[in-house]
Chain A
């Protein structure tokens, strides 16, 4: 092996007579590798929808996380004399039936909704991808893991959620505080009840990828399974994962709303977009704007995340990049 390590780097037939400078270090002679993430960014920039989506999403995130420091009205402050007001300078989005400021409720509600959506999505994508990749890659674990997935798919989700909330709410509230406890509970419940579709899609893709020759080439190099997965399998199943992720945010926000509506989520006076929506449904004909604001916020968030996901998926695929 060692006797062949000294193969000349430059072809030996390059005499100095050609006026060439003495051979440089080959690594400096040619342009160094450009960081691949610049290519991804370049492609992302060409996707107009993704750029707009990213701008809207960043705007929403900045608004809900910094907004409450600028718009300092307490979202739970009840001013019964100012109830059911229309838009005014004091209350730009009006007030609700208890006289609470809708703008400040929207801002602090968005904080929880986006946090729940993102965290639950990450959790569900994480579990789904892990189970899907393991089931697809290791034939021996395929059967047990897919039966587990079937089991979760067959569980009636709503009763399960209700039982879990009853069982664990007090325990988690003691550990993380009343709101933190409910947050952890809801995020983990949504996470562990929505990973199954991702797992199935990922498993199918992994099964197909595993038979491709580049995986065999990796095996002939001696790449161990864990790096085979991170280097060859995961980058190639990114597209379906991205799609699941963007859809997952929407589902998580809506599931949280449903739970709040049933009274099993956050406490009634604690604003989230879902809670605002459901509170306003009763008086929808009188005050339609109170349904429109949280509905618009949820739709905009979901739509912008979808566009970001679409742009990212294209930007991460080298075959589409540069077209």
Chain B
């Protein structure tokens, strides 16, 4: 297990908000905002993997991109190695880009079809280093070795590779500048199951070898359980629960996490027969118009009266275990207000 007592915080995100404005009417006035990320707070310790899970459209990819400042954030702070980069201009950000890199979801779309592999992996080197041609090629070969690509492939184009190989190219590009922090935005979602394991194991090996810190975004709960040290669960732009891996998977506190985990298929047929699925009713509300109070109150199986009025605070309910739910606030309130059995 990860040693948190001696670890430094590499990334600290406080109350991060990212709202995409909605314009309508003849005058194109701003009439609302899609609250893709709405007040997210977490920190990532050096050398750990933080898993970020949630259903499609809950804002987890947007959150990962906002942390790297690929979007202009609406509010909040993003501190990397002690400096707040939330309001930096692109020119200022350029200097810290080598520290933080990203692996993208779709390995086909994230590689420029007109560039060779050596051009793609060499792009960060061109931008941030002044290596000679020969040194650059040596570094590219070194990176290709590290991710398990044949050096002979250096002058081929992305369309000549399989999905798994393309993802390796993307990983090599992210590693080129010796980053400390890598956001993996669903790096395995577009791959075959057999290739998923290869890529995840590669990511783990690279983490050990280079001491990397990952923010691992995924909707695959079993994969996150495999790779992550701590896990954050997102729902409708907010983190509802954040805990070390085992406590989260063994005793989830938030009803949404419970529902999510109950949906993970169980390989043992005997156990599978006894598992109780929590089926959520209804759809996710629109992030442009989230419900009053708790975001989850429209679908929560254990909803209380207070949930419709007050947005629960995200607070520590056990050591290292954070959740945003009224169920775990105050026992009097819970007993008084609970409607579901």
Chain A complexes with chain B: yes
Which residues of A line the B interface, CB within 8 A?
Answer: 1, 4-5, 7, 9-11, 25-27, 29-34, 36, 212-214, 216-224, 227, 231-232, 235-236, 317-319
Instruction: Please give, as numbers and ranges, the residues of chain A lying within 8 Å of B98 by CB-CB distance.
Output: 1, 222
Name the CB-closest residue of B to A1.
Answer: B178
Is A214 a contact partner of B110 (Cβ separation < 8 A)? Answer: yes
The 8 Å CB contact of A223, one of B123, B134, B146, is B123
Give the complex CA separation of A253 and B69 in angstroms. Answer: 50
With A4-B210, A30-B154, A217-B173 already in contact, the answer to whether A236 and B112 are too (CB < 8 A) is: yes
Of B97, B114, B210, which one neighbours A221 at CB under 8 angstroms? B97
B243–chain A nearest beta-carbon distance, Å: 29
Contact B157 A319 (CB under 8 A): yes
The answer to whether the Cβ of B3 comes within 8 Å of any Cβ in the partner chain is no
Q: Please, which residue of chain B has its CB at the minimum distance from the CB of A11?
A: B145
For the complex, would chain B's binding face be called helix, strand, loop or mixed by DSSP majority? helix
> Does B111 count as interface, using CB distance less than 8 angstroms?
yes
Chain A residues, CB < 8 A from B210: 4, 7
Q: Which 9 A-B pairs have the closest CB atoms?
A: A222-B97, A222-B94, A213-B110, A318-B157, A235-B114, A213-B109, A26-B141, A214-B112, A220-B102
Q: Which B residues lie within 8 Å of A318 (CB)? A: 113-114, 116, 157, 159
Complex CA distance for A26 and B152, rounded to whole angstroms? 12
What separation, in Å, do the CA atoms of A318 and B118 have in the docked complex? 14
Contact B124 A221 (CB under 8 A): yes
Does chain A have a CB within 8 A of B192? no
Identify which of B70, B93, B134, B178 contacts A4 (C-beta below 8 A): B178
Q: What residue in chain A is nearest B112 (Cβ atoms)? A: A214
B155 located at the interface, meaning its Cβ lies under 8 Å from any Cβ of chain A in the complex: yes
A-contacting residues, B131-153, CB 8 Å: 134, 137-138, 141-142, 145-146, 151-152
Contact with A along B100-131 (1 / 0, CB 8 A): 11101110011111111010000110011000
Range, interface on chain B: 35 or more
B127, A221: Cβ atoms closer than 8 Å: yes
Determine if B9 is an interface residue (Cβ-Cβ < 8 Å): no
Residues of B within 8 A of A11 (CB): 145
- 9 A-B contacts (beta carbon < 8 Å): A26-B142, A30-B141, A30-B151, A213-B109, A220-B68, A221-B124, A221-B128, A224-B90, A224-B94
B111 touches A214 (CB 8 A): yes
| A313 smallest CB distance to B (angstroms) | 12
Could you tell me the distance in whole angstroms from the C-beta of A93 to the nearest C-beta in chain B?
A: 46
A299 to B31, CA, bound (A): 56
Q: Is B315 an interface residue (CB 8 A)?
A: no
Residue in chain A with minimal CB distance to B212: A4
B155 touches A34 (CB 8 A): yes
B65 within 8 A of A: yes
The smallest C-beta distance from A35 to any residue of chain B, in angstroms, reads: 10
- On whether the beta carbons of B110 and A27 are closer than 8 Å, the reply is no
Contact of A7 with B146 in the complex, beta carbons under 8 Å: yes
Partner of A236, one of B110, B114, B152, B155: B114
Which B residues are in CB contact (< 8 Å) with A31? Answer: 152
In the bound complex, what is the Cα–Cα distance between A33 and B110 (angstroms)?
Answer: 23
Which of B91, B102, B157 is close to A217, meaning CB atoms less than 8 Å apart?
B102
Knowing A217-B104, A222-B94 touch, does A232 contact B112 (C-beta < 8 A)? yes
How many whole Å from B98's CB to the nearest CB in chain A?
8
Nearest A-chain residue to B145, judged by Cβ: A11
Partner of A27, one of B106, B138, B170: B138
Q: Chain A contacts of B91 at CB under 8 A? A: 224
Q: Is the CB of A213 within 8 A of B137?
A: no
Cα–Cα, bound, A317→B128 (Å): 28
What's the nearest-Cβ distance from chain A to residue B185, in Å?
A: 9
Among residues of A, the one whose C-beta sits closest to the C-beta of B99 is A1
CA distance in complex: A191, B152 (Å): 46
Distance in angstroms from A31 CB to nearest chain B CB is: 8
Contacts of A236 in B (CB 8 A): 112-114
Could you say which residues of chain A place their CB within 8 Å of the CB of B65?
A: 216
Known A-B contacts A9-B138, A222-B94, A231-B123; A36 and B116 likewise in contact (beta carbons under 8 Å): yes
Question: Per-position contact with A for B34-48: 1 when CB-CB < 8 Å, else 0?
Answer: 000000000000000
Across-interface contacts of B124 in A (CB, < 8 A): 221-222
Indicate the member of B100, B105, B134 with the most A CB atoms within 10 Å: B134
Q: Decide if B110 touches A217 in the complex (CB within 8 Å).
A: yes
Assess the A223–B116 pair: CB atoms within 8 A.
no
Residues in A neighbouring B95, C-beta threshold 8 A: 222
Q: What's the minimum C-beta distance from B181 to chain A, rounded to whole angstroms?
A: 12
Please give, as numbers and ranges, the residues of chain A lying within 8 Å of B100 by CB-CB distance. Answer: 220
Q: Which residue of B lies closest to A214 (CB)?
A: B112
Q: Which of B146, B154, B155, B211 has the most CB of A within 10 A?
A: B155
In B62-91, the 8 Å CB interface with A consists of 65, 68, 70, 90-91
- Measured in the bound complex, the distance between the Cα atoms of B93 and A164 in whole Å is 48
- Contact (Cβ within 8 A) B113 A319: yes
Q: Cβ of B141 and Cβ of A27 under 8 Å apart?
A: yes
Enumerate chain B residues within 8 angstroms of A36, measured Cβ to Cβ: 116
Known: A7-B146, A9-B141, A217-B173. A223 touches B127 (CB 8 A): yes
Instruction: Select from chain B the residue with minimum beta-carbon distance to A7.
Output: B142
CB-CB under 8 A from B114, the residues of chain A are 235-236, 317-318
Chain B hits for A9, CB < 8 A = 138, 141-142, 145
Q: How far is the CB of A142 from chain B (nearest CB, A)?
A: 13
C-alpha spacing A30/B97, complex, angstroms: 31
Alpha-carbon distance between A217 and B141 when the two chains are bound, in angstroms = 21
CA gap between A11 and B211 in the complex, in Å: 18
Minimum CB distance partner of A32 in chain B: B137
* Set of chain A residues within 8 Å of B128, measured between Cβ atoms: 221-222
- State in angstroms the CA–CA spacing of A216 and B64 once bound together: 13
Contacts of A218 in B (CB 8 A): 112, 123
A79 to chain B, nearest CB (A): 57
A residues in contact with B138, CB < 8 Å? 9, 25-27
Give A215's nearest chain B residue, CB to CB: B112
